[in-house]
Each structure stands twice: as C-alpha cells, then as structure tokens.
C-alpha cells in the first residue's frame, strides 16, 4: 500500500557536534529541544560559544536548553517566522556555518528546503527526528500542501481528492507525495489506518 523501499524517503541520524564549524546554527521545533540539549551537552565550551539556537514551540519543552551558555538563544512564535530568520542568517553566512535541525519531519524538511535555496548541500545538514511522525503532503494533482497527515489515506485540504500517502518524498517541496486512491472507483477506499502518529 505505502510502497516502501523508496530511496527518496529521508533518513535521520542524531545531532553530533562538528568541532571544525566556525558557526553553529541549531534549528529546533518542539520536542526537538531534547535532541538539541543532548548536542550541547556532548559539545565543549568552545562549540557552545559558537552556537546560536532558534527555537519554535512551547516554552516548557525549551526549559532543558536554558542552562547552556551559548552565543544566542532566540524564540520564534511559529515555524514560518523561524524559517524567515533562517533565511536572514543564510543570506550573509559563509562556508564555515553548520546547520543542525531537530523536530518533526515536516520541520526538518522545510529547513532543508530553505537551506538548499542557498546552495547548502542537504547531506551537510545534521538532522535528528523528534516528536510526531505526521507527514506534510503534497497533492500531486492540485499541488496543494496538507500538513499533519497521520493516516494512510487522507483528503487533500485543497481539492478534496482522496490521497494515498506514499513514501515518495520531494526535497524541493519538503513533502511526501499523495496520489489519488479512488480515481477508477470513486468512493471505494482501502481501509483507513493511522500510520504516522
């Protein structure tokens, strides 16, 4: 059903400090705060003084980050505003910058999407997936993006087509692809299950 084994499905590791980076920019969403805290814990003082954290999410989740002496910690009200701030950093950044991302898959994908627009190689971005497995979906028919999809079949939030959620991922759109599942027999759907909680 899901068509697994698709190579474009991203894989994530754990955040590890790159001791050579001149400037570390850590982008964190919600439960990603735990991964960012482990990163800062494992790094030395030198690394921390070269590190800025941009955080979007609840203040409570970010408590674990408050004790580290880092260069700068900024709270952003939404992912959108965090991404705008990211663009600001990347506009003037040099090759010595390193990006670290922790949060949901949709968040990581959007950070990589923005960084690639500045010609950052996606493989150089250090990522750790935390929190929900909910997917950001692009409807391949109307191209609309639907956020937070948790089921194997979901209605497109834009054109209303019933979409089968695939493992096929687009870095350019930062989204998994959703393909009409009942084109031949409208309304006949496979069993709907929660798959990406």
Partner 1 sequence: MTGGSELAVRVSDVTSVAQDIKRFRLEPVAGPLPTFSAGSHIVVSMFASDRRIRNPYSLMGVGGASAYEISVLRTANSRGGSIFMHEHVTKGTELIISQPVNLFPINHTGRKHILIAGGIGITPFITMAHQLKALDQPFQLHYAARSQERSAYAQQLKDLYGDRVFLYRDNEGHSIPLEALLKNQPLGTHLYVCGPEGMINGVLKTGLAAGWPKESLHAERFLAPPSGKPFTVRLVRSGLTVRVDEHQSILEAVEAVGVNAPYLCRGGACGQCETAVVACDGQIVHNDNYLDPDVQKSGAAIMICVSRLNGSELALNL
Residues found near partner 1 in the complex (CB under 8 A): 18, 20-23, 90, 93-98, 116, 118-121, 123-124
Closest separation between CB of residue 25 and partner 1, Å?
A: 11
Longest CA pairwise span in the chain (Å): 62
Q: What is the Cα–Cα distance from 74 to 17, expressed in whole angstroms? A: 20
Q: Minimal distance in Å, beta carbon 196 to partner 1?
A: 29
- Please give the C-alpha separations between residue 25 and each of 51, 86, 122, in angstroms, as whole numbers: 6, 9, 15
Query: What's the min distance (Å) between Cβ of 193 and partner 1?
Result: 38
Residue 21 or residue 154: which is nearer to partner 1 going by CB?
21
Complex with partner 1: residue 132 or 170, whichever CB lies closer: 170
For 109, list phi and psi in degrees, rounded to 5: -60, -40
Q: Which is nearer to partner 1, 16 or 63 (CB)?
A: 16
The vertex-83 CA angle with 123 and 179, nearest 5°, equals: 70
> Do 175 and 154 form a contact (C-beta atoms < 8 A)?
no
Decide whether 114 or 166 has the Cβ nearer to partner 1: 114
Smallest distance, Å, CB 179 to partner 1?
28
């Amino acid at each position: 059903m899901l068509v697994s084994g698709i190579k474009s499905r991203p894989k994530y590791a754990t955040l590890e400090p790159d001791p050579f980076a001149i400037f570390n920019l850590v982008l964190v969403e919600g439960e990603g705060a735990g991964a960012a805290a482990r990163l800062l814990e494992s790094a030395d003082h030198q690394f921390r003084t070269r590190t800025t954290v941009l955080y979007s999410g609840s203040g409570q989740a970010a408590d674990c980050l408050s004790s580290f002496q880092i260069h700068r910690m900024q709270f952003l009200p939404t992912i959108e505003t965090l991404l705008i701030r990211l663009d600001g950093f990347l506009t003037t950044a040099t090759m010595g910058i390193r990006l670290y991302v922790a949060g949901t898959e949709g968040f990581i994908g959007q950070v990589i999407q923005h960084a690639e627009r500045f010609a950052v190689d996606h493989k150089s971005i250090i990522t750790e997936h935390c929190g929900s497995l909910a997917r950001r979906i692009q409807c391949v028919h109307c191209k609309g993006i639907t956020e937070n999809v948790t089921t194997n079949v979901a209605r497109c939030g834009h054109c209303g087509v019933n979409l089968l959620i695939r493992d096929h991922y687009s870095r350019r759109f930062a989204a998994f692809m959703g393909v009409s599942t009942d084109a031949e027999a409208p309304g006949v759907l496979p069993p709907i299950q929660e798959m990406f909680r």
